[in-house]
Each structure stands twice: as C-alpha cells, then as structure tokens.
Amino acid sequence: MSFGTLQLVLRPPQGRFGWWGVGSITLAALVFLWWAALGSQINASNLWNGIPYMVDFLVRMMPPNPEFLERLWRPALESLQVAVWGTLLGVVIALPVCFFAARNLSPSPVVFHATRQLLNCMRGINEIILALIFVAAIGLGPFAGVLALAIHGAGMLGKFFAEAMEDIDEGPLEAFRSAGVGPFKTFFFGVLPQVLPTWLGTIFYRLETNVRQSTVLGMVGAGGIGFELVSSMKLFKYQDTATCILVILAMVLIADLVSSRVRALIR
C-alpha cells in the first residue's frame, strides 16, 4: 500500500506468535476492556441524560463572584506554601534513600529490593488518604497536607532519582575507584554531574504536581483553597465555587508555565 512517496509494508508477525497469536492477544484485550467497561458501569445514555443537569450547574455558576476573591488569596497562598514545603521535604526524604534503590550503587540485592518496595509503598498511597491519616494524627491544618505531599512525593522522587543513577555512564566511576577515590568524591564528581539535570527537572515537575494536589487537600481538612471550594458547594453558593475553580486553574497554569520554562532551561 502506498501513500504518495511513502509505502506501507505489512509483514506477518515474526517469532513464535504469528497471526493466530496476535489475533488471540487482541481478542483477549478486547474482552478485558469489555469486562472493565461493565465493572465501571460505562453508559453513554446516562451521560447523555446528565448533560442538562451539568448545563444547569454551569449556568448557576455564572457569573463568578469577584468579591469572593478577597477570601481566596490567603488560602491560595497557603496551598502554594504547602506545595513548596511538601516538595522540599519530599526531596530531603528521597535523597538518602535513592542511593540504596539504585541497582548499580546499592550495597546488596536485599537492600535494593527492600528499598524499592519501601518507595513503592510510599507512592502507592494517594495523597488524600495520607492527608486523612495525618489530619487524624496531628489535627486539621496545612501541616497535614505538607506531610502527605512529602511522603507521597518522596516515593516518586526516590524512584526517579534511583533510575537516573542506574542510567549513568559507569566509566568515570570505574576510573575514580581504580584511583582510590572515596565514595563521597566519587559521587560528587562522577555521579552528580550526570544526574543533576534529570534530578532538577524531576523536582520541578513534582512541584508542579504538588501545586495541583495542594488545592484539593483542603477538602479533607489539610489546609488550602480546597476548603473554600467545598464550603461554597455545600452552601450552594455556586458563583463562589466558580471563583474558586478559576483561582485554582490560574495557579495550576502558572505553576505549569514556570515548571516548563525551568525544565527547558535545565535541558
């Protein structure tokens, strides 16, 4: 089959599969998707019937209440503060752990697998669930949100930090080791220059994610603008809700823009 100067060549699958194997895998995938659709109750008619209610909700939100902004600037700054400190503490927790989670730097396979599972557990629990745990432990307030973002973020950052160190060029490390250089200098001069751009890009991406997450942690009492959002909806003040949503969107867009620019400069 040809498209102008381009030609599309279809070849039979190579190896042990063949057309029957590919067809069986495709059929199994379709059956799995159908099973998942039944379990999640995907129903186009329900969505179509719900459109008038969604339109009615949007109409009630218009126009946003500009006077409500006076109450939002402090919770919005609180969400930003939670995101910044959640990211910083996540980095502080991840840095000592990531070396044991890197296959080429870990002292033993047992330590490597144990550390990887620890990181999996840390990032496997959603931030909102962690926030609920910390709210129950230390009470309402933004500090619970900081701890929730820090624990979840440390699991994600530790994994990415470790994978970045696994992809480095081993040549400089062997040269330093053969020259009798200590582990600290080997890391500082052989590992850090190779992984620093990737680490910084990952940190700023995590900060961008934490800005989004911090805006909803207030829904469970962990501080930030999410509390005002939920309160306005419970009081049926939908115009105030629209103002909250616009402020959250502005925060997320600004964080995304700044993070993208910084990561582009690092690259």
Note whether residue 29 is domain-resident.
no
pLDDT tens, residue by residue, 142-185: 888 889 999 999 988 988 888 888 777 767 667 766 766 666 67
Rg (Cα) of the chain, in Å, rounded? 25
Check: pTM over 0.85? Answer yes or no.
no
Query: When comparing pLDDT for 105 and 14, which is higher?
Result: 105
Gap between the Cα atoms of 105 and 153, Å rounded? 22
Token pair of 221 as six digits: 């009492």
pLDDT tens, residue by residue, 221-253: 777 788 888 888 888 888 888 888 888 888 888
Which residues are 77's β-sheet partners?
Answer: none
For the chain, the domain total comes to 1
Is 183 within 8 Å of 153 (Cβ atoms)? no
DSSP string, 223-253: SSTHHHHHHHHHTT-HHHHHHHHHHHHHHHH
Question: pLDDT category, 58, cuts 50, 70, 90?
Answer: confident
- CA 95-194-120 angle, to 5 degrees, is 35
Phi and psi at residue 6, to the nearest 5°? -100, 145
Query: Mean pLDDT in the chain?
Result: 81
Note whether residue 188 is domain-resident.
yes
DSSP string, 139-198: -SSHHHHHHHHHHHHHHHHHHHHHHHHHTS-HHHHHHHHHTT--HHHHIIIIIHHHHHHH
Is 213 within 8 Å of 129 (Cβ atoms)? no
pLDDT of residue 126: 85
Sign of dihedral through CA atoms 267, 165, 93, 159? positive
Note whether residue 230 is domain-resident.
yes
Q: Which residues contact 87 (CB under 8 A, 6 or more apart)?
A: 149, 150, 153, 203, 206, 207, 210
Note whether residue 259 is domain-resident.
yes
Note whether residue 257 is domain-resident.
yes
pLDDT of residue 173: 67
| Residue 172 structural domain | 73-266
Note whether residue 4 is domain-resident.
no
Q: What is the CATH number of the domain that holds 225?
A: 1.10.3720.10
pLDDT tens, residue by residue, 7-48: 655 565 555 566 777 778 888 999 999 888 888 888 788 888
Note whether residue 24 is domain-resident.
no
Note whether residue 21 is domain-resident.
no
Q: What is the DSSP letter of 221?
A: T
